[in-house]
Amino acid sequence: MKLIPDSAPCLLRLLLLAQLFVHSAPLPVSNRTFCRGFREMKRRLDNLSMSSSTLHSLGDDELVTMAAGNRLGHLPNIEYTAADISSIKLNAALSQLYVHTQAFKLHLDWLNTASNNISVPSQPAGDASAHLHALAHLLQSSLQQEPELTSYSLPEVSSTFDLLHYAAEISERLKVFCDWSKRLLAYLRKSHCL
Mind listing the pLDDT tens digit for each residue in 43-84? 999 999 998 888 776 666 666 666 666 678 888 878 777 777
Predicted local confidence at residue 136, as pLDDT: 94
Any idea where the domains of the chain sit in the sequence? Answer: 28-192
Using the predicted structure, report yes or no on whether residue 21 has a pLDDT greater than 80: no
Q: Is 166 exposed, middle or buried (0-12, 13-18, 19+ CB in 10 A)?
A: buried
Which among 25-34, 55-64, 125-134, 145-154 has the top mean pLDDT? 125-134
Nearest C-alpha neighbor of 85 from the set 153, 190, 179, 184: 184
Predicted local confidence at residue 19, as pLDDT: 55
Predicted local confidence at residue 133, as pLDDT: 94
- Within 8 A by CB and 6+ apart from 88, the residues are 96, 184
Q: In the CATH hierarchy, which fold is given to the domain comprising 28-192?
A: Growth Hormone; Chain: A; (1.20.1250)
Residues in the chain: 194
What's the rounded Cα separation, in Å, for the pair 67 and 149?
26
Predicted local confidence at residue 138, as pLDDT: 93
Please state, rounded to an integer, the average pLDDT across all residues of the chain. 80
Contact predicate 114/163, CB 8 Å: yes
Coil/strand/helix, residue 134: helix
- Within 8 A by CB and 6+ apart from 117, the residues are 157
Amino acid identity of 24? S
pLDDT band at 8 (very low <50, low <70, confident <90, very high): low
* Least confidently predicted of 2-6, 82-86, 135-139, 158-162: 2-6
Predicted local confidence at residue 14, as pLDDT: 54
Predicted local confidence at residue 66, as pLDDT: 62
